[in-house]
């Protein structure tokens, strides 16, 4: 029997976002697994959860009993399904799947049933301070072979086109996170119409509301987007407003994607069984790792819903690899968000997924196929500063959801 000998947490930020990687060492010399546990805004809390609570629980346990360990970790603290704990559990869960693939001599997608496709189609994020900048960014992606592009302007919520700042607004919000929802929806529609007019139907266009609208305004905006034939509208509603998806579905045919803030099965289950969305886009570590994600994928397939897993810069290359392995093995894969990696990422994470044209490829080495150069990772320490972009304000200065 191969057992868990040690658990490490490596913190690094090669591309600027704070990343959390869990390394599980086994009783077999040289055999270890890597898992993503990245919760960028609370990375130190996740590290503490892994090292102070989960590590003592799992030491000496059989590495093959992944399902048993996942449930044990989830209920051992009694309270469950929160972002810190879920990410911590995911780090160990993913590392154990990596180990299982290495022991089997198989890439993870083969453990999941084998590939349905050779690579995963991606979408890239095109933003800019004005319509011309957005158009130029979209054109650059399109010319590189990317066929799905998320079109935004002036950041989420259109902060750069916000009204004058009230004197009472805290300084941190002045430069980064003041926005007016009505101005945002008008400007978003304008840039989306422009891009559709310039590029026609040869591009699939996505837009992310980022859960920043009230339900009634979100419904109005989604209906206005119908004429633009979006690939999907992302996170039109907040997790607190899930009941509104049924109403939105009744009055609007714009395809909907949802899920990046979800922690609990009661958040995604009714949307799947009620067929109220078209794409699931959870952050796989936020939901607890591969063990729950593969079950949700199968559940979504039965209800005609596709996957579009969360893939921004605050997912480690280990997490991105997990996304793609699941994409390759899932009949109901839809699209994969990808942020693009700078050279520093490939130096710290050899074997990280590679984009060629509009497709993302993973290594066919056993397990996840990604390794970690800890000396390179140590060159990029995390930033312990207070997060500013989440300090959003309405035009009157009151706090709002980011």
Average pLDDT value for residue range 83-108:
98
The rounded percent of the chain whose pLDDT value lies above 70 is 95
Structure tokens at 113: 């049933």
pLDDT of residue 230: 98
Burial class (CB in 10 A: 0-12, 13-18, 19+), 199: middle
Distance of CA 77 to the CA centre of its chain: 26
Q: Which of 109, 156, 179, 232 is catalytic?
A: 156
Catalytic: 32? no
Catalytic: 148? no
**Would you list the DSSP string of 217-284?**
HHHHHHHHHGGGT-SEEE--S-GGGTTHHHHHHHH--S-EEE-TT--SHHHHHHHHHTT--SEE---T
Q: Is 348's pLDDT higher than 60?
A: yes
Distance of alpha carbon 364 from alpha carbon 357, whole angstroms: 19
pLDDT of residue 175: 47
In 3D space, the residue among 399, 376, 392 whose CA is nearest the CA of residue 19 turns out to be 376
Average pLDDT value for residue range 365-386:
97
pLDDT of residue 169: 59
**226-266 tens-digit pLDDT:** 999 999 999 999 999 999 999 999 999 999 999 999 999 99
Q: Is 398's pLDDT higher than 90?
A: no
The 3-state DSSP class for residue 111 equals helix
Query: Does pTM surpass 0.75?
Result: yes
Average pLDDT value for residue range 94-106:
98
pLDDT of residue 167: 63
Structure tokens at 6: 């040690």
**169-209 tens-digit pLDDT:** 555 544 456 778 898 999 999 999 999 999 999 999 999 99
Query: What is each CA distance from 346 to 15, 41, 94, 316, 351, in whole angstroms?
Result: 10, 23, 20, 11, 7
Average pLDDT value for residue range 7-26:
98
CATH architecture of 4-105: 2-Layer Sandwich (3.30)
**119-166 tens-digit pLDDT:** 999 999 999 999 999 999 999 999 999 999 999 998 776 665 555 556
Class of domain 110-377: alpha beta
Average pLDDT value for residue range 83-90:
98
Residues 199 and 178: beta-carbon distance below 8 Å: no
Domain boundaries, the chain: 4-105, 110-377
Q: Which of 125, 148, 207, 210 is catalytic?
A: 210
- Which helix or strand (DSSP H or E) is residue 384 part of? none
């Amino acid at each position: 029997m191969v057992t868990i000998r040690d658990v490490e947490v490596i913190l690094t930020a090669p591309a600027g976002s704070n990343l959390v990687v869990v390394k599980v060492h086994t009783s077999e010399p040289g055999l270890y697994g890597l898992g993503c546990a990245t919760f960028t805004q609370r990375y130190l809390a996740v590290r503490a959860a892994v090292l102070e609570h989960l590590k003592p629980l799992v030491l000496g346990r059989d590495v093959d009993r992944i399902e048993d360990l996942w449930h044990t970790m989830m209920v051992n603290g009694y309270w469950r399904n929160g972002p810190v704990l879920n990410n911590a559990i995911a780090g160990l869960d993913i590392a154990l799947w990596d180990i299982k693939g290495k022991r089997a001599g198989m890439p993870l997608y083969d453990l999941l049933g084998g590939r349905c496709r050779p690579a995963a189609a991606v979408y890239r994020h095109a933003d800019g301070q004005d319509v011309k900048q957005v158009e130029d960014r979209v054109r650059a992606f399109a010319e590189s072979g990317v066929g799905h592009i998320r079109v935004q302007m002036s950041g989420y919520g259109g902060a750069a086109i916000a009204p004058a700042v009230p004197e009472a607004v805290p300084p941190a919000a002045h430069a980064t996170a003041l926005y007016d929802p009505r101005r945002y929806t008008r400007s978003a529609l304008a840039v989306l119409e422009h891009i559709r007019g310039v590029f026609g139907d040869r591009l699939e266009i996505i837009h992310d509301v980022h859960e920043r609208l009230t339900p009634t305004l979100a419904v109005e905006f989604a209906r206005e987007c119908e004429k633009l034939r979006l690939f999907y509208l992302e996170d039109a509603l907040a997790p607190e407003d899930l009941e509104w998806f049924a109403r939105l579905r009744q009055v609007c045919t714009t395809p909907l994607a949802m899920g990046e803030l979800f922690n609990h099965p009661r958040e995604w289950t009714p949307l799947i069984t009620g067929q109220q969305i078209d794409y699931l886009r959870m952050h796989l570590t936020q939901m607890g790792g591969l063990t729950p994600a593969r079950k949700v994928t199968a559940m979504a397939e039965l209800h005609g819903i596709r996957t579009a897993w969360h893939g921004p810069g605050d997912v480690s290359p280990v997490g991105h690899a997990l996304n793609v392995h699941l994409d390759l093995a899932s009949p109901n894969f839809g699209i994969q968000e990808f942020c693009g990696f700078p050279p520093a990422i490939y130096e710290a994470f050899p074997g990280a997924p590679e984009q060629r044209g509009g497709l993302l490829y993973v290594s066919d080495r056993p397990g996840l196929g990604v390794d970690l150069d800890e000396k390179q990772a140590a060159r990029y320490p995390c930033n312990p500063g207070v997060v500013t972009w989440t300090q959003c304000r309405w035009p009157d200065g009151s706090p709002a959801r980011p």
